[in-house]
Amino acid sequence: MIALAFNLNVLTRDLSLYLENHVRVGLFGSGVGLSLVLGFGAAYACYYLISVAKKPQLIAGGKKFCQFLREQCPVVSETYYPTFWCWESRVQTLLRPFVTAKPGVSYRNELIKAADGGQISLDWFDNDGSAAHPDPSTRPTVLLLPGLTGTSRESYILHMVQQSRELGYRCVVFNNRGVSGEKLLTPRTYCAANTEDLEAVIAHIQSANAAAPLMAAGVSMGGMMLANYLGRKGRETCLRGVVVFSAGWDVFECTASLEKPLDRFLFNSYLTSCLQASVDRHRPVLEKLFDIDYVMKAKTVRQFDERFTSIMFGYQTNEDYYRDASPIHRLKSVQVPMLCLNAADDVFSPNHAFPVEAVKQNPNVALLITDHGGHIGFLEGIWPWRSTYMDRVFRQFAKAVIEQGSSLRDL
């Protein structure tokens, strides 16, 4: 309370001096307007500091992992101060692509063959100028998985590449089939439940850099795919650790949330159109097996999945697909350290579906929940163009896993 009173006093004093120096006439000249502005400013600051800016909740299944995070990743214990003028969930989600900078990154593209004859596009940032890890054979590698329709050019991916560059690590971005400009060679794209392409990518990276430590980070659907992969593989993976951002844990609940009128208007229709655009771009290959005109008439992500995704991957019903794609059912089998960051106000991943109880039962998993942040938002600072709370979580966890990860063995 002392700190709160001090903050309010400082705010009131600075605002008063500003208005006295810059506003001389009109309503403020009588003092009435000045009092109103000061009162509103103090009330808003009080509300922000009490109700908006809060420490995140850290839930972990084991004391060892929890202690490791608090010691090596202090960000998990620090108050998260969302940008004061855009802390609301939908505003954070919508603004992030526009207000955050896009660091300059030059990739080296590689196309690898998949078992079905298709091709997978990987974008490498080799970081050959790394002073911390000059030997490329042992340079730590971070595998990055973008969201549903994302590529290596998304701002959140570029920020993680930038953080990795500063740490001296190499990055490789796994672009899902058909989304980054490459030709679709077979009538198959991707989904959150199928991890075959991810397994092939991890095996390829490991074979090319066998002596280099490897960890992964997934965002939204990329995080869901990573969680499902870890749940299937258990300890049979070379990944030293995983961090997941804004994952949808129960697909039924996620789609239901996005079908509410406002969120359908703001997000669902746009996502559906992006998915349809990708399908239409590869129409010559896909129309051999699918009714593309029917797919193009879908109005929601659920309708798109019913008409395309679930059929492509051989599910009897869309419900079967959604059940298989929901990572909440596989968390109990995760056997490597995994940190998950979600915002309680994320409309893509409603907080009542967070896997709190499942996390408590697994010593390898931790869930970090902020009150605000939206979906892949986590904006902070007065003008949040340089870095976000999510970026800081990524940087600290990546460094901890790569450099101190030996202490996490046998959780």
Largest CA distance in the chain: 77
pLDDT of residue 41: 75
CB 145 within 8 A of CB 225: yes
Give 10 or 310, the one with higher predicted confidence.
Answer: 310
- Name the catalytic one among 197, 250, 346, 391: 346
Rounded Cα gap, residues 252 and 28, in angstroms: 54
Sign of the CA dihedral running 299, 305, 309, 314:
negative
How confident is the model over 131-180, as pLDDT tens digits? Answer: 999 999 999 999 999 999 999 999 999 999 999 999 999 999 999 999 99
In one letter, which amino acid is 170?
R
**For residue 71, how many other CB atoms are within 10 A of its CB?**
13
pLDDT of residue 406: 83
Give 26 or 130, the one with higher predicted confidence.
Answer: 130
DSSP classification of residue 169? -
Residues 6 or more apart in contact with residue 62 via CB below 8 angstroms: 362, 363, 364, 411
pLDDT of residue 19: 41
DSSP string, 363-386: TTEEEEEESS-TTTT--BSSSTTS
Residues 6 or more apart in contact with residue 263 via CB below 8 angstroms: 90, 257, 347
How confident is the model over 377-411, as pLDDT tens digits? Answer: 999 999 888 899 999 999 999 999 999 988 888 77
Please say if 220 is a catalytic residue.
yes
Q: What is the mean pLDDT of residues 40-58?
A: 89
- Name the catalytic one among 133, 159, 372, 375: 375
| Tokens 């701002």, residue located | 155
8 band by pLDDT with thresholds 50, 70 and 90: very low
How confident is the model over 291-338, as pLDDT tens digits? Answer: 999 999 999 999 999 999 999 999 999 999 999 999 999 999 999 999
pLDDT of residue 358: 97
DSSP classification of residue 18? H
pLDDT of residue 12: 46
Q: What share of the chain is helix, strand, coil (3-state, %, to 5)?
A: 50, 15, 35
- Name the catalytic one among 220, 246, 278, 326: 220
On the question of pLDDT at 356 being above 60, the answer is yes
∠ CA 74-76-82, rounded to 5°: 110
On the question of pLDDT at 209 being above 50, the answer is yes
pLDDT of residue 30: 54
46 band by pLDDT with thresholds 50, 70 and 90: confident
Please say if 375 is a catalytic residue.
yes
Please say if 269 is a catalytic residue.
no
pLDDT of residue 5: 43
pLDDT of residue 248: 98
On the question of pLDDT at 251 being above 90, the answer is yes
- CA-nearest of 27, 399, 136 to 243 is 399
3-state secondary structure of 143: strand
pLDDT of residue 31: 63
* pLDDT above 90 coverage of the chain, percent: 84
On the question of pLDDT at 15 being above 60, the answer is no
Question: What's the mean per-residue pLDDT of the chain?
Answer: 92
pLDDT of residue 21: 52
* pLDDT above 70 coverage of the chain, percent: 92
